[in-house]
């Protein structure tokens, strides 16, 4: 299994071993010695790391995170990354994201629609990593529309939620469709189901073509 | 659309203008903004740029989130209340109208539909003119209610997608309205949601004069009134439970959970199957 990024470690907290990052606690997660638990059940990116997917993350990268929601995952990402731009469209969860950004001075919250990159291209710089976890239809389109932000050697780390595309279809068919759409602009390096941490989700690592 | 950064031409001290730029600016393509900002003298170095960016993005997100929240659920509450008022007024005026029209014409009908018939007539006497004019007001109010309902139908899924999925837009809006907002609805226990709108019956019960009400507003939901009377208590308890969960998800996370619908359908089907066993 590949090494974890710098700034992410396996630590024993509260008697259980698991991923952890260093930063101010955000959502009541267990912590000790300045490290806080990164629960893969609550974070798709956490699950991708836990499952040993080769994310290419080293630590210190510039990150654009789409679908930041209440900031659970993006707070961990900001703990081990460089400048981190967090896009979320729903006004309610962004309040919690603002709390996470309070103690993280390189985490930049943006209340924007990830389907409309032109509304934040004047703020977001080109990045090394594009993380996407948006629970809307057209998840491949969002990744394609935001391809412009990703450096040539960068990585797309995508969590696909089958049920957001089609509640009734077989998840595996939905994943195939999404991956096929992605391949117009990305080379897919790895795909893996995120069970047992997230039902009907696919983790994808890709790089721009 | 320009290809300039949010800081282009800004006075670094002008916080308000910067927040507006973050919120409303656009660009065709991204660029190495920290480098550009330093070159243009907006910041002395990258760290200073990021410090400013942090300050203004946090302020912009807070401002925009506050505005959008207040705007959306207040609009919905006003719209559904106005819709109910328009319908009530239309019905009340239609009654007055049919009383008056009945004194002029033995075949006069009743209700808003009759007002619609009258409104299409050509009045001859001054008395007829007043009756027809009143009928047109009734029709106008009824049409206004229809337009408001369409507005509720498009707004409710934006404000509370999960609650709307389970309850339908109008019931979702009425629940939010009765609770005084989505946040207060999300904070109510499901037992309260179950009897929202049945306050009179609830207080009679608390005085000891009546049995506890089984349902309030949610009676209008198919899951309750489509269930045989003996099992409506169970059905409304199950429905209220799911509606409360939906309202909490809508308020606290904004996530969509299509599974809630299947869970509710399954639960209601099990309750309704009890009657089939007895038959």
Q: How far is CA B119 from CA B133, B136, B143, B246, in A?
A: 7, 5, 13, 44
CA distance B203 to chain A (A): 34
User: Radius of gyration of chain B from Cα atoms?
Assistant: 28
Question: Does the structure show a pLDDT above 80 at A78?
Answer: yes
Residues B148 and B94 in one domain: yes
Per the DSSP assignment, residues forming a β-bridge with A82 are none
Does residue B253 belong to the interface with chain A, where contact is any CB pair within 8 Å? yes
DSSP summary character for residue B68? H
Contact B255 A69 (CB under 8 A): yes
Question: Does the structure show a pLDDT above 80 at A101?
Answer: yes
Q: Which residues contact A18 (CB under 8 A, 6 or more apart)?
A: A10, A11, A37, A38, A39, A40, A50
Residue A7 in any domain: the answer is no
Judging contacts by C-beta atoms under 8 Å, the chain B residues touching residue A111 are: 23, 60-61, 64-65, 68
pLDDT in tens, A55-65: 999 999 999 99
Please state the domain count of chain B.
3
Does residue B251 belong to the interface with chain A, where contact is any CB pair within 8 Å? yes
pLDDT in tens, A106-146: 999 999 999 999 999 999 999 999 999 998 889 999 999 99
Residue A47's CATH number: 3.40.50.150
CB A37 within 8 A of CB A90: no
Does residue B5 belong to the interface with chain A, where contact is any CB pair within 8 Å? yes
Residues B44 and B91 in one domain: no
The secondary structure of A169-205 as a DSSP string is S-HHHHHHHHHHHHTTTEEEEEEEE-TTTSTTEEEEE
Instruction: Give which of B256, B162, B3, B262 is closest to A139, Cα–Cα.
Output: B256
**What is the phi-psi region of residue A60: left when phi exceeds 0, alpha when psi lies from -120 to 50, beta otherwise?**
left
Does residue B229 belong to the interface with chain A, where contact is any CB pair within 8 Å? no
Report how many Cβ contacts below 8 Å link chain A to chain B.
Answer: 104
Which parts of chain B have pLDDT scores under 50? 279
Helix (H) or strand (E) holding B97: helix B46-104
Residue B269 in any domain: the answer is yes
**pLDDT above 90 covers what percent of chain A?**
86
Does residue A125 belong to the interface with chain B, where contact is any CB pair within 8 Å? yes
Residue A91 in any domain: the answer is yes
CB B94 within 8 A of CB B110: yes
Using CA coordinates, name the residue in chain A closest to B24.
A119
- pTM for this predicted structure: 0.67
Residue A195 in any domain: the answer is yes
For residue B58, the enclosing domain spans 15-70
ipTM metric: 0.94
Question: Does the structure show a pLDDT above 80 at A92?
Answer: no
Taking a contact as any Cβ pair under 8 Å apart, which residues of chain A between 50 and 69 contact chain B?
Answer: 69
Judging contacts by C-beta atoms under 8 Å, the chain A residues touching residue B72 are: 91
Does residue A208 belong to the interface with chain B, where contact is any CB pair within 8 Å? no
Question: Does the structure show a pLDDT above 50 at A1?
Answer: no
**pLDDT-derived band of residue A160, with 50, 70 and 90 as boundaries?**
very high
Contact B61 A111 (CB under 8 A): yes
pLDDT at B172: 97
Residues B264 and B167 in one domain: yes
Question: Does the structure show a pLDDT above 70 at A176?
Answer: yes
Residue B227 in any domain: the answer is yes
CA distance A174 to chain B (A): 16
Judging contacts by C-beta atoms under 8 Å, the chain A residues touching residue B181 are: none
Listed residues B54, B70, B86: the one ending a domain: B70
Question: Does the structure show a pLDDT above 80 at A2?
Answer: no
Quote the CA–CA distance of B198 and B175 in Å, as a whole number: 12
CA distance B27 to chain A (A): 5
Quote the CA–CA distance of A75 and B183 in Å, as a whole number: 25
Taking a contact as any Cβ pair under 8 Å apart, which residues of chain A between 83 and 112 contact chain B?
Answer: 83, 90-95, 97-98, 101-102, 105-111
Does residue B28 belong to the interface with chain A, where contact is any CB pair within 8 Å? yes
Does residue A22 belong to the interface with chain B, where contact is any CB pair within 8 Å? no
Residue B219 in any domain: the answer is yes
Quote the CA–CA distance of A32 and B154 in Å, as a whole number: 47
For residue A101, the enclosing domain spans 40-208
Residue A87 in any domain: the answer is yes
Residue B10 in any domain: the answer is no
Quote the CA–CA distance of A76 and A78 in Å, as a whole number: 5
pLDDT at B1: 55
């Amino acid at each position: 299994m590949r090494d974890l990024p710098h700034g992410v470690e396996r630590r024993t907290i509260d008697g259980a071993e698991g991923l952890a990052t260093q930063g101010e606690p955000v959502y009541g997660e267990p912590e000790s010695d300045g490290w806080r638990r990164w629960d893969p059940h609550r974070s798709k990116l956490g699950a991708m790391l836990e499952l040993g997917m080769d994310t290419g993350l080293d630590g210190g990268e510039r990150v654009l995170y789409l679908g930041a929601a209440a900031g659970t995952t993006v707070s961990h990402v900001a703990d081990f990354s460089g400048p981190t731009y967090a896009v979320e469209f729903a006004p309610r969860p962004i309040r919690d994201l603002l709390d996470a950004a309070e103690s993280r001075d390189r985490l930049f919250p943006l209340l924007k629609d990830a389907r409309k990159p032109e509304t934040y291209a004047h703020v977001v710089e080109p990045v090394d990593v594009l993380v996407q976890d948006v629970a809307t239809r057209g998840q491949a389109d969002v990744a394609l529309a935001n391809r412009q932000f990703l450096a040539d050697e960068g990585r797309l780390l995508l969590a696909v939620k089958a049920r957001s595309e089609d509640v009734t279809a077989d998840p595996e068919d939905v994943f195939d469709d999404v991956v096929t759409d992605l391949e117009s602009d990305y080379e897919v390096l790895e795909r893996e189901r995120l069970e047992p941490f997230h039902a009907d989700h696919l983790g994808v690592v890709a790089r721009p073509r | 659309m320009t290809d300039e950064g949010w800081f282009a031409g800004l006075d670094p001290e002008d916080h308000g203008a910067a927040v507006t730029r973050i919120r409303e600016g656009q660009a065709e393509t991204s660029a190495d903004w920290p480098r550009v900002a330093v070159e243009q003298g907006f910041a002395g170095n990258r760290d200073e740029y990021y410090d400013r960016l942090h300050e203004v993005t946090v302020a912009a997100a807070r401002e925009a989130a506050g505005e959008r929240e207040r705007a959306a659920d207040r609009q919905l509450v006003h719209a559904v209340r106005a819709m109910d008022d328009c319908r009530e007024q239309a019905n009340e005026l239609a009654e007055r109208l049919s009383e008056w029209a009945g004194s002029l014409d033995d075949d006069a009908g009743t209700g808003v539909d009759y007002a619609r018939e009258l409104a299409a007539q050509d009045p001859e006497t001054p008395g007829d003119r007043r009756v027809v004019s009143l009928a047109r007001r009734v029709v106008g109010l009824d049409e206004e209610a229809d337009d408001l309902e369409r507005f509720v139908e498009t707004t409710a899924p934006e404000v509370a997608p999960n609650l709307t999925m389970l309850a339908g837009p109008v019931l979702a809006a009425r629940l939010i309205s009765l609770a005084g907002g989505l946040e207060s609805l999300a904070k109510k226990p499901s037992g309260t949601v179950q009897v929202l709108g049945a306050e009179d019956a609830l207080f009679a019960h608390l005085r000891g004069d009546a049995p506890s009400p089984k349902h309030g507003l949610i009676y209008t939901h198919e899951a309750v009134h489509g269930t045989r009377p003996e099992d409506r208590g169970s059905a409304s308890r199950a429905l209220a439970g799911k509606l409360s969960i939906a309202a909490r998800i809508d308020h606290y996370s904004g996530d969509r959970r299509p599974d809630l619908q299947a869970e509710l359908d399954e639960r209601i089907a099990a309750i309704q199957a009890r009657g089939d066993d007895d038959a």
